Copies of this chain bind each other. A is one copy, B any other.
Amino acid sequence: ETSVTLYGIIDTGIGYNQIKQGGDKATRFGMINGTQSGNRWGLKGVEDLGNGLHAVFQLESGFDSSNGYSAQGNGTHNRLFGRQATIGLAGDSWGQLDFGRQTNIASKYLGGVIDPFSNGFGQANLGASFSSANTMRLDNLVLYQTPNFSGFQFGIGYTFNANGSQDWKLDGQSDTNTRGFTTGLRYANGPISAALTYDRYDNDANFDSAINEWNLGVGYDFEVAKVSLGFGQTRNGLMQVQAPGAGVSFSTDDSIGVLENIDGLKVNSYLVGVSAPIGNGKILASWQMADATNSGNLGWDAKKQQVYSLGYTYNLSKRTNLYAIGSYGKNMYFADDVKSTAIGVGIRHMF
């Protein structure tokens, strides 16, 4: 029995980004990385403890395959295993309980149902509109997930501090740890799939109400094509936010921030997705809209963000594929007339 498995994904390509607002324009042309799937290497293992009980762990480190940078390891703190660092116990009958850093339930459950781009391909992925499903990772997370019951799986997690180390709380002062929870239900049976998720975080005592988001998605696989629909509502802020221009994955940091409190902001999110197998490949397409029905403290008059995306993946083997992506977004980050165009081609290899 091997006690540890070494695995990873490396994904590199060539791409182009353009951002325009009014007469201003910024462009990038060059090497892109982690576009379809974030670059990673990791260690994972399962130990059989008997009586249907298992010890499980996973350590996953992200990197930039165009220049070798650590993907979550720049700046003051260096996340060596910035994608995942968990240990847990799993029982055949009762499910799995994990401790440590990993993605929230919305990022785990929603994308598989509604996103043809499977949480990848930069601004094309559902995260552009559904911020809680934007591969948001939570530190200090205790996460419980049931086994699959007749196609249903339920998960719920609580984080002692969503981002970083556990802070001291001084007597008489407020707690600076961002507590929060993530929960959801998913269903998959034959051609039908569905997911419902909810996240709530309280990261600052200066805001009246916590950031929260719920999302619902359904999908049906007609074999000739899979069609999906998603709807969600975000209130009082955004969770994992992409900057305009995240288009395809250049190695600069495209994230605006995590758990941005924006008091009073109300966003309704929509997605229609289609994917269709064609020979050794697959066509991917989606339309997304994030409609800020109330700008709240955003700071400007919010416009409807819309993203149109089209992609193609072609399998060279089970572990290696080529891809092409094109995506066009307007009113990005709710800003009037900000247009983001992204195109790219690349290769992804899994080991």
Contact assessment for A67 and B85 in the assembled complex, using a CB-CB cutoff below 8 Å: yes
Closest to A245 in B: B168
User: Which of A55-63, A127-135, A229-237, A259-267 is near enough to bind chain B?
Assistant: A55-63
Contact assessment for B27 and A319 in the assembled complex, using a CB-CB cutoff below 8 Å: no
Chain B residues near A25 (CB, 8 Å)?
170-171
The 4 closest A-B pairs by CB, nearest first: A30-B160, A67-B139, A68-B81, A31-B140
Q: How many copies does the complex hold?
A: 3
> When each residue 15-45 of chain A gets 1 if its CB lies under 8 Å from chain B and 0 otherwise, what string results?
0010000001111111111000000010101
Chain B residues near A180 (CB, 8 Å)?
none
Chain B residues near A170 (CB, 8 Å)?
24-26
Closest to A45 in B: B351
Interface residues of A (CB under 8 A from B): 3-4, 6-8, 10-14, 17, 24-33, 41, 43, 45, 47, 49-50, 53, 55, 57, 59, 61, 63-70, 72-87, 89, 99-101, 139-142, 160-161, 164-171, 177, 245, 250-252, 316-317, 319-320, 347, 349, 351
Q: Given A57-B349, A68-B139, A140-B251, 6 more contacts at CB 8 Å?
A: A10-B59, A17-B168, A25-B170, A50-B317, A55-B349, A63-B80
Closest to A141 in B: B31
Chain B residues near A17 (CB, 8 Å)?
168
Most chain B CB neighbours (cut-off 10 Å) among A10, A55, A68, A165: A68
Chain B residues near A100 (CB, 8 Å)?
12, 31, 33, 65-68
Query: Which residue of the partner chain, among B43, B63, B171, contacts A85 with CB atoms under 8 Å?
Result: B63
Contact assessment for A55 and B171 in the assembled complex, using a CB-CB cutoff below 8 Å: no
Most chain B CB neighbours (cut-off 10 Å) among A12, A80, A100, A167: A80
Contact assessment for B161 and A30 in the assembled complex, using a CB-CB cutoff below 8 Å: yes
Query: Which residue of the partner chain, among B28, B32, B49, contacts A316 with CB atoms under 8 Å?
Result: B49
**A24-B81 contact in complex given A66-B101, A317-B47, C-beta closer than 8 Å:** no
Contact assessment for B11 and A87 in the assembled complex, using a CB-CB cutoff below 8 Å: yes
**A68-B84 contact in complex given A170-B26, A177-B30, C-beta closer than 8 Å:** yes
